[in-house]
Homo-oligomer: A and B are copies of this chain.
Amino acid sequence: MTSSPVKIAASEAPDQPDSSPELEALYRGFEAELLVPLWTEIGDLMPAHPRSKALPHLWRWADLLPLAAESGRLVPVGRGGERRAIALANPGLGGRPFATPTLWAAIQYLNPGEDAPVHRHTQNAFRFVVEGEGVWTVVNGDPVAMRRGDFLPQAGWAWHGHQNATSEPMAWIDGLDIPFQYAVDASFFEFGPDAVDNTETPARSRSERLWGHPGLRPLTHLQPTPATPLLAYRWEHTDRALDDQLALEKEGVTATLGPGHAAVRFTNPTTGGDVMPTLRTEFHRLAPGTETATVSEVGSTVVQVFDGMGSVTVGEHSWSVERGDLFVVPSWQPLTVRSEGGLDLFRFSDTPVFEALNLNRRQEATR
């Protein structure tokens, strides 16, 4: 039991009776029978609006990368530990490796010539590359090159391993729904081969050759799939789409979220919806001097600065940010971003969970 009857009656639930032997016996009866009254818990359980235990927090790339490199020197990668991934642990979540109550975000590091062994799990995952190149993620036997700016989704239950095929180490960001699946007891996991099963290093993956043509769908694959079959969203496309939006805005066409604020969502070409059932992923570009609207949303978000400099306010916290920095936005905390000389941001969130369950809400602050 986390709370005693006396404390509760006195403080949280109004109009409770004074303590008495009978009342104390009642509460002892609850404890004995594994029961807890609502009236002592409702304030915590049913707040007026989401009041996350997670806190806004910033991790600096300048701190993360050296620790990852040192791990590369000291800690092997292989079967059992599976990945040299180091996760953000939100200061409000008791030391668990959870960026937010639903989202996992980690820096992963692979030395030249190293393999991360093949496995699969129900967790949806992706990789995002803020710098470097040289690793191929092999998904169901399809090697997918990873390069700066690329977004690489990884549907739940797909076999996958990683291989560094170059002479340089490489680091990138992994995002998954581990905390969500952990909280709701949905996780399955299976080991595959200890080394990746296809060591080719093609510039374009099979999935891109099948699915990477805008608006064109192979007739061999006509059913909608819960997750995207396209395994790489390349930087040259993302970059050009964002530039196009800003140029269209200058021509007077509705193409940006607000003045100077271009944004694309990565989508599943078989449905037009999010790339994976639990994860939303987007790229935002703020022209120099742009400030976004201040928005609160149900669900949590992780943002990585891809390029540029700016400042960020999440609830009552504010930080200056630059390339590689990562910050989290807990549920319903208002977020505002300001660019200095231009700012490119990658963001992911659990919003599809709430949309699927009719629990999403969004509120824009009036300036």
Contact = CB atoms under 8 A, between A and B. Distances in A.
B237 A214 contact: yes
A27 to B, nearest CB: 10
A26 B20 CA distance: 55
Contacts of A240: 213
Contact of A59 (B34, B121, B217, B275): B34
Given A121-B46, A178-B46, A255-B210, A30 B85 contact: no
Interface stretch (A11-19, A127-135, A307-315, A338-346): A11-19
Interface in A4-44: 13-17, 20, 22-23, 26, 29-30, 33-42
A89 B51 CA distance: 22
A228 interface: yes
A75 interface: yes
Interface of A: 1-2, 13-17, 20, 22-23, 26, 29-30, 33-42, 45-52, 54, 57, 59, 63-64, 67, 70-71, 74-76, 78-91, 94-97, 101-102, 106, 121-123, 156, 178, 180-190, 206, 209-220, 222, 224, 226-228, 230, 233, 237-238, 240-241, 244-245, 247-248, 251, 253-257, 263-272, 275, 277-278, 282, 298-300, 330-332, 350, 352-354, 356-359, 361
B257 A220 contact: yes
Contacts of A187: 45-47, 49-50
A215 to B, nearest CB: 5
Given A33-B59, A183-B183, 18 more contacts: A1-B89, A14-B81, A35-B87, A36-B86, A37-B71, A47-B187, A48-B188, A101-B184, A181-B359, A185-B330, A206-B248, A210-B245, A214-B233, A215-B266, A215-B275, A216-B264, A220-B254, A271-B271
